[in-house]
Each structure stands twice: as structure tokens, then as C-alpha cells.
Structure 1
Amino acid sequence: MTNIVRCKANFKFSSKTAANLSYKIYGESHFEEPTILLLHGLLGSKKHWDSIGKTILNVTKRHVVSVDLRNHGDSPHTNSHKYEDLAEDILKLLDKLSINRVSFVGHSMGGRAAMAVSLLAPEKVAGLLVLDISPISNSKQLTDYLPNVLEAMRKVNFKKEIKVNAAKQKAKKELENIIKEDNLMRAVLSNVKMKPDRTIGWACNVDILIKHFKYIASFPENMKRKRYYGPTLFIGGQLSEYLP
């Protein structure tokens, strides 16, 4: 880990384009800073952090917030999904919750979103814990496999389904030739939900995730000259292809 004086940023988020993110607070509503913000990966949601969020709260005695990133979970579907967008959304949420400084725990896409915030508004970020991703690395699973998964998800037709469990079984049957990993299948099926209009569909915005996948799979070029000098730790499994 490194700990060097962080610089100030002139970045201002646009409240007009930033999404109002759905979130869950672990612990009391009064924040002691720095708050810990948990950011999920592609096809994930805030509920995937429930067990870990409670553990972090109990161990650190700091307040913990898990977030649904745009186009995921209960957060709004938008027509864009770039890391600059995700960073604006997060900064808007920090303002909404009156959080002056935050420590990030971000997995995969959420890790890159956390890095984007740290580069655009470093004075807001007390530290980064990034899981299984970096600004410079990719793997065939990210560049080749996951786009195929998303395309297969788009082809699932839920129109005749009236119950979520039955819809999940239908989706599983149609996707099991593409998705071989149990963990990924569980993450995908967790996106099957009953919508406000009582129809069943994907919680994530599959069309936009496909359309903007090139932005998800690469770190923004315009951020590569920026620097964050605060405490940063990258963690990955021994067999992970996501860290160089």
C-alpha cells in the first residue's frame, strides 16, 4: 500500500446526467468518516454484499453503504454506461448522504468505477481496495465470454412467465449451454425480477450493457494521465486472469 499526500481535483459532476443510485446502509444512519462504500461488478447488485457488508461493519465499526450502480439492481436504467458516468453517479450519492470522504471496496467493474472516482475527485477518497481488476488488464472472459453471455440473456423471452422462480428456471435452461460456472449463473439469475408493471424481466439493462461493453472492458483513455496517491490495494486470486 502507498500513502502519499493526495492532490485536489477540479472535477464537478453533472447533476443533470448523474443517476440517483439505490443503496443500502449497514449500521446507524449517522456517518463516521471515512464511510466504506461497496461497489459490485458486472451483473451484480448491492444485495450481493449483504454478508460481507455486515462483517465489515462489525470488524471496522465504521459505517458501510452498498450501492447498485446504474443499469443494475434497483438503480435507474440509463442510455450510457461509461466509467465517467458511474463516477458522477457515485459523487452525487456522496453529496446526497453528506459523505465528505469515503473508502472504496470495489469488485471488477465496481473497482474500476472506484478508481475513476479517485482520479476525478481524489480529495473525496480516503483509500481504495480493488478486487480482481486493474486499470490496464483484461482477460478473454471479459472481452469475449461476457459479451456472449449478455447476448444470450437478451434472447431469453419472459413474456409468458408470471412467477419469478419459473422465469429463473426458464432462463437457466436457456443459458446453461453458454454459462458453465455456477457462480456466474447465480449472478445472472439474481437479475430476474418482477418489474413495477408486474412483468418479469432482467433487473440489469442488458441492451445498454451490450451497446457500451467496450467502455466496461477498458479504462478511459482520458484518465490515464491522472494520478491518485492515496492508499491503494489490489487483490486477486492466484489463478485470476484479471490482474497482470
Structure 2
Amino acid sequence: MNIHVRILRNCKLSKYASPFAVTIRTSVNLSFKVLGTFDLESEAPPVIICHGLLETRRSWRGVAKTIRNLTKRSVVIVDLRNHGASPHASSQRYESQARDVFQLMKKLEIKRASLMGHNVGARTVMCAALMAPASVAGLLVVDMSPVSTSPEFKEYYPKLMEEMSKVVWKEKRKVHKAQKAIKKQLKHIIKDDVTMKAILNNINVTREGSIGWMCNLEVLKKQFKHLSSFPKSLKGKNYDGPTMFIGGQVSEYLPADDLPGIREMFPRAVIKYVVSTGHNVHAEDPKAFMELVIKFLRTN
């Protein structure tokens, strides 16, 4: 069952409670949902999933439900800062996003969690593992490298955000009508259905009460320079826990040549590629993707 933050405020999760190895500062209270309940008798840690740039936690509901059903672990899906229903902030640095995850874990009194992320969410969970390795039971990185950045990522997302910023909103338009209209406006730049669905999920009634983008588009555009490379501040740190990188075979986001550099930070890292898939490997071949994820979670 889905449990919202308001319900969880009174839950007792003391089994996972302990102080973090990092200081939680400049963090925001992420919007999230929990699938399942925290089993205080279970040794299996919860799974926290972080989405990619311009997505929301809705993009990962199917994956979260499958993990919950097959592993019986509780699963937490979040909206990253400046995305979805989470607060807006002036920084989008990966270190800040990792602190948001720690803040959430502290709120839920989770001592250790398995972390999974895709795209910028992948780099967020990698940063979290490097910043507080004792708090991370296992790491699943979906089609993103800490060593190099795909030219497609650097070129495509700024163009997409620029096109999104050109959208003119009609105040009286309903959400579903707005989504239909915006889909026509953006179809020249968004070629795949997975990305289009994620972008349209950003359309809703905003904090000001009008129809618009839920994501903080202006900050994301300004802060993109910090998203286009892995933080130099974490150079020399490592996470020695179980780590799996899952890449799309035809994607450029996780080059096999990056493995030596990856293992400098994540010594136990293994890379698995899903045949004939691109960057959205979890959506393009969900069966093969989930087989890898479930096997990893069952053994770590």
C-alpha cells in the first residue's frame, strides 16, 4: 500500500535509527511516497529510488511496485529538489541533493538504505554513497557514469529546457488539455515516448494556483553546469559496498571504458548492459532490467 509522509510521521522506525556520518545542512524536505511498511523485524534495508532530470517519482512507480512485491522490502520513491512536489531551492549541486536524501532518511529514522538512481538521480545516490558510506547498504546506478558525461546529456537537456521555457500557458486550461497542447509543441524535440511522458507529468497546478511546470525550470537551467559533471569535491573518496551499474547497450551514458575510473570510487562495482536498450533501460526492457535489480537486492 502507498503511505504518504503525513501518515508516516507517527510510525516507529527505531530499528533503523542512528546518527549519520555527515552533517545534514542546506537540505530540503523531499516529497516522497513509501510502498509497503517498514518491517522492524526484517534485516533487509529499505530501497530509496531517485529519478532523473525533469522527471518525477511517478516515472518509477512501476519499478518500485515490482521491487516491493518481489523482495517484500519497503521502497521509497522521491521527488528530487526543484522537481515534482518537492521544495524549490537555489542549488542543484549533487552534494546538496545527496544531503536531501540524508535528511529524508533521518526523518524516517532509517539507519541504512539501498539506493538506486537514474540519470542525475544516479549521480545523486553515488554522491550519497561516497559522502556517507556507512548509511548505504547497496548501490544501484542506472545508466550514468561518475567518470564521463555523455555529449547527448550536455547538449540535449539544455535545448529541451529552453524549449520548455518557451511554452505559453493559458490560465483557464485544464491539466489534461494543457498536456495535450504541450505534447504537440514539444514533439519536434522529444522523440521518445518515455521522455515525453515524464515531461508531461511535470504539468500540473503550480504553487501559484495556475497551470504550469511543477519543476523549477529556471533554477535547473542555471544550475545545469553543476549537473554536467561529477563533483570534484568527492575525489579520493570511495564506497566499498556492493555496487551494480546497469547500462543500456546502445546508450552513450555509461561507457565500458569508464570501469577503471569507476572502480577507483566504487571498488566492488560491476557493470551489466541490457541488450538493445538506450538510456531509459528500465522502460525499454523492464523484464531484463528488473531481473538484474531483483537479483542484486536479494543478495545484498
Normalised to the residue count of structure 1, the TM-score between the two structures is: 0.92
Amino acid paired to 1:243:
L
Match of 1:76 in 2: 87
Instruction: Give yes or no for the alignment of 1:22 onto 2:10.
Output: no
**Contact residue 139 and residue 241 of structure 1 kept, 8 A:** yes
Match of 1:5 in 2: none
Match of 2:264 in 1: none
Tell me the secondary structure at the aligned position of residue 212 of structure 2: strand
**Aligned-pair CA distance for 1:161:** 4.2
CA distance in 2, matches of 1:100, 1:10: 11
**Contact residue 128 and residue 232 of structure 1 kept, 8 A:** yes
CA distance in 2, matches of 1:144, 1:161: 34
**Contact residue 162 and residue 199 of structure 1 kept, 8 A:** no
Q: Tell me the alpha carbon deviations over residues 96-142 of structure 1, each in whole angstroms, 9 at most, x when there is no partner.
A: 00000010111111110001010111110011010000101222220
Q: 1:42 aligns with which of 53, 56, 59?
A: 53
**Aligned-pair CA distance for 1:181:** 2.0
Match of 1:141 in 2: 152
Question: Number of residue pairs matched?
Answer: 234
Instruction: Give yes or no for the alignment of 1:63 onto 2:74.
Output: yes
**Contact residue 192 and residue 200 of structure 1 kept, 8 A:** yes
Larger relative contact order (Cα-Cα within 8 Å, sequence gap ≥ 6): 1
- For structure 1, the 5+ residue unaligned runs are 1-8
**Aligned-pair CA distance for 1:10:** 4.8
| Higher alpha-carbon deviation: 191-200 or 25-34 | 25-34
**Contact residue 83 and residue 214 of structure 2 kept, 8 A:** yes
**Contact residue 161 and residue 167 of structure 1 kept, 8 A:** no
Match of 1:242 in 2: 253
CA distance in 2, matches of 1:225, 1:161: 53
More helix by share: 2
| Higher alpha-carbon deviation: 136-145 or 200-209 | 136-145
Q: Tell me the alpha carbon deviations over residues 68-97 of structure 1, each in whole angstroms, 9 at most, x when there is no partner.
A: 110111100111100011011110000000
Amino acid paired to 2:95:
E
Query: What is the RMSD of the two structures over their aligned residues, measured on CA atoms?
Result: 1.4
CA distance in 1, matches of 2:38, 2:252: 38
CA distance in 1, matches of 2:182, 2:235: 39
**Aligned-pair CA distance for 1:171:** 1.4
CA distance in 1, matches of 2:234, 2:193: 35
**Aligned-pair CA distance for 1:170:** 2.2
Match of 2:202 in 1: 191
CA distance in 1, matches of 2:69, 2:32: 19
Identity of aligned residues (%): 47
**Aligned-pair CA distance for 1:50:** 1.4
Normalised to the residue count of structure 2, the TM-score between the two structures is: 0.75
Q: 1:98 aligns with which of 87, 109, 124?
A: 109
Map 1:66-215 → 2, pairs under 5 A: 66-215=77-226
Amino acid paired to 1:119:
L
> Measured at CA, do residues 101 and 10 of structure 1 come closer, stay the same or move farther in structure 2, by a change above 3 Å?
closer
- For structure 2, the 5+ residue unaligned runs are 1-19, 256-300
**Aligned-pair CA distance for 1:29:** 4.5
**Aligned-pair CA distance for 1:198:** 2.6
